[in-house]
Amino acid sequence: MDLFFYSLAIQLSALIAVALLRSNRAASAAVHLLLLAGLVSGFVSTLSALIFPADQPLSFNIYGVPPDLFRFDALGLYFLAIVQLVAIPTTIYSYSSLKHYIDKGKSVKQLLAVYPILLVATQLTVVSNHSILFLVCWELMSTAAYLGMVFEKEKKDVQTGSFYYLVMNHVVVFILYVFFFLLHRHSGSWLFSDFHVSPDTGSLFILLYVLALIAFGMKAGFMPFHFWLPRAHPIAPAVFSSFLSGIIIKTGIYGILRTFQFLNPTPEWLGWVVLAGSMISAIFGVWYALAQHDIKRLLAYHSVENIGIIGIGIGIGFIGSAYQSLPVQVLGFGGALLHTLNHAIFKSLLFIGSGVIYQNLGTRNIELMGGLARRGRFFAILFLVGSVAISGIPPLNGFISEFIIFNGFFTTARELKNYYPLLMLISTVGLAFVGGLAVACFTKINSIMFLGDERKEIKHFHVSVYDYLSLGIFALLCAAIGFYPQPFVRVINDVLNRAFIPGNSSSALLNINWFYISLIFLAILAGFILIYIWKRGMNKKYGRKILPAWGCGYERLNPRMQYTASSFADQLNTIAKTVLGYHKKIKPPAEIFPAKNKFESHADDFVDSKIILPWFKKINTFISRIELLNYSDIRYYVAFILIIISIYSLIGFLWI
């Protein structure tokens, strides 16, 4: 793994390029070349250690650094591989994305300085073995993401969304401090490899799990801790939105799985808490997404949905741990790990796609889009690949990981019996319902954005070679895992054997007949290709007849007469309007032949509007009455900070 540290050095050397090169264009080219060189070399090293672990030590002594600071076990290597794999095409897109700002005369030095720090800190976070080092890397990662998020700080929504993100990170870090202090006090060590708390410790075991689920669950975006995510992800530049949704929130999943290594076996009730909470996240995450018209906000809610799906797999794994059932654990944790990879891939594809659309149209409002398929046919196909994958439809990768989780439901019912068959049936229906809503949501997106006529004049629609290369890599990964999942499943199974279930002889993942699934998917693909060839042949032989769309008897159709995103999803959103905070503004016709009518629909996040904002207003009012905090002299605030640091240091000293 020496190559990994060299790769980090190459990535950090990009900061030197930012400092030395005055030209934004030259600095951008140098930074992205260095980052790509570092990421590719690092990924090769990580993949080698993940696939061929026999000759790889768990810890390394690099230039006098204590060997226990970093630990390259199976779980850390798996998440490290995901970070590097997704970062490569994201960085390719980053070069194209920043070029748009440079062409407008805006300096991008801030993003060029922050992005390498974000990449390096994230990689170090998932291989840190020391609690303090983990927290330092976690803070660097979060702070770098925040600094990238506020790039367009003059915008009101950027100020609000970044504030939500900043507050969330402060809360998470505070909880994690308490979490690691408790683990240190119990074990006498700061090292992850020394942490282990058995259920026999009683209240400590429960308290640690509660702290971990709140802190890491908030970072991941589980409901009801998701309130920050739909505000923060849409306002960041597309590169940071992609990395936030594809990777950063996965560090919360990493934290939960790492906690399981410290605290196991889990009690049955904990598995049900995680499973039920995750099911709520999945269902209402996708339902909130269906009610959105801002494409990036819609994709942010889909992150809540997919984090819920990952959590469902973790919940199944926890239940399997409680009953010491190897097949249940393997399918639950295996589905969660694979869906973590899959979501990182197709969500990055979709966020980058939304960035390309925003760069060309200057809006994120789906209601103002239309007819984009005629402007960028291949772009529309690549975006459709991501839409099919995230909806869990065969033959792409989203289906594979959800299929494993469905198998986890069936295996749990068969292995544990009693009341489990009924509960697993309910869970199966719930996850299937999530898939149905996801299909409805992405049918809305693709039909409104890409089909029909242009609702707003599009002067140009340009997709660069770098955009296509980035989107193409993600699309190929979606197809590769879907059509040929065997090598990915083997890696997942190996990670489980080495990280969660040592000596596991269960082959529940490998017993699924992946070969026949691949054959079925290839047959589906072959069928589509044959139909396309036949259609081309018929067109060539008989020609094509193009007629205007049927307009229910109306003539001279115009874009205003097309379905809108609001009307498309109105009936489904009305079903859960109370929970979704769904409401409509309708301006009814006032004349027999009205010139213009108006229909709008909005959804207010229940947690944000009914809990977070009211409490924030109360706290703000209370604090504003404390004269001690109303000083304008910054020296008072510096003094307050020093006092708080002293208190933290004293607590740490006493606990150590």
Same-domain check for residues 313 and 411: yes
Distance CA 405, CA 458 (A): 43
Place of tokens 């606990």: 655
pLDDT at 61 over 60: no
pLDDT for the residue 654: 61
Mean pLDDT of the residues in the chain: 87
For 141-153, the pLDDT digits (tens) are 999 999 999 988 8
Q: Which of the listed residues 170, 203, 238 is the one where a domain comes to its end?
A: 238
Kindly report the number of other CB atoms within 10 A of residue 650's CB atom: 10
For 253-280, the pLDDT digits (tens) are 999 999 999 998 899 999 999 999 999 9
Range of 78-87, 290-299, 551-560 with top mean pLDDT: 78-87
For 66-99, the pLDDT digits (tens) are 667 888 889 999 999 999 999 999 999 999 999 9
Whose CA is closest to 434, among 309, 296, 316?
309
**Nearest 10 degrees: Cα torsion 321, 324, 326, 329:** -10
Whether residue 350 lies inside any domain: the answer is yes
CA atoms within 13 A on the CB side of 434: 32
pLDDT for the residue 451: 86
- Sequence letter at residue 270: L
pLDDT for the residue 505: 58
Same-domain check for residues 216 and 301: no
% the chain with pLDDT above 70: 90
Mean pLDDT along residues 29-51: 93
Distance CA 267, CA 205 (A): 10
The count of residues in the chain is 656
Kindly report the number of other CB atoms within 10 A of residue 133's CB atom: 20
Distance CA 134, CA 69 (A): 9
Name the DSSP letter for residue 235.
G
Same-domain check for residues 350 and 465: yes
Kindly report the number of other CB atoms within 10 A of residue 618's CB atom: 10
Q: Are 530 and 538 in contact (CB under 8 A)?
A: no
Whether residue 250 lies inside any domain: the answer is no
Mean pLDDT along residues 45-62: 71
pLDDT at 382 over 80: yes
pLDDT at 503 over 80: no
pLDDT for the residue 392: 92
How many structural domains comprise the chain? 3
* Between residues 441 and 457, the one the model is more confident about: 441
Domain residue limits at 323? 265-501
Distance CA 571, CA 404 (A): 32
Distance CA 155, CA 556 (A): 40
pLDDT for the residue 205: 92
Mean pLDDT along residues 402-415: 94
Distance CA 160, CA 105 (A): 26
Mean pLDDT along residues 185-205: 89
Distance CA 370, CA 558 (A): 12
Same-domain check for residues 200 and 270: no
Same-domain check for residues 234 and 270: no
Same-domain check for residues 16 and 133: yes
pLDDT for the residue 531: 93
pLDDT at 23 over 80: yes
Distance CA 574, CA 298 (A): 17
φ/ψ of 485, rounded to 5, equals -80, -10
At residue 606 the predicted structure's pLDDT band, cuts being 50, 70 and 90, is confident
Distance from the first to the final alpha carbon of the chain:
32
Q: Which of the listed residues 221, 238, 255 is the one where a domain comes to its end?
A: 238
The mean-pLDDT minimum among 166-175, 285-294, 378-387, 564-573 falls in 564-573
Distance CA 330, CA 512 (A): 12
Sign of CA dihedral 380, 382, 385, 390: negative
Same-domain check for residues 297 and 185: no
- Sequence letter at residue 509: L
At residue 647 the predicted structure's pLDDT band, cuts being 50, 70 and 90, is confident
Sign of CA dihedral 566, 567, 569, 575: positive
pLDDT at 651 over 70: no
Mean pLDDT along residues 548-570: 73
Mean pLDDT along residues 105-113: 89
Whose CA is closest to 258, among 268, 250, 247?
250
Same-domain check for residues 322 and 216: no
The mean-pLDDT minimum among 129-138, 476-485, 591-600 falls in 591-600
Same-domain check for residues 312 and 218: no
CA atoms within 13 A on the CB side of 613: 9
Q: Which of the listed residues 469, 501, 533 is the one where a domain comes to its end?
A: 501
Q: Which residues pair with 586 in a beta bridge?
A: 599
At residue 545 the predicted structure's pLDDT band, cuts being 50, 70 and 90, is confident
Q: pTM of the entire structure? A: 0.91
pLDDT at 60 over 60: no
pLDDT at 58 over 70: no
pLDDT for the residue 571: 82
pLDDT at 37 over 90: yes
Mean pLDDT along residues 551-555: 66
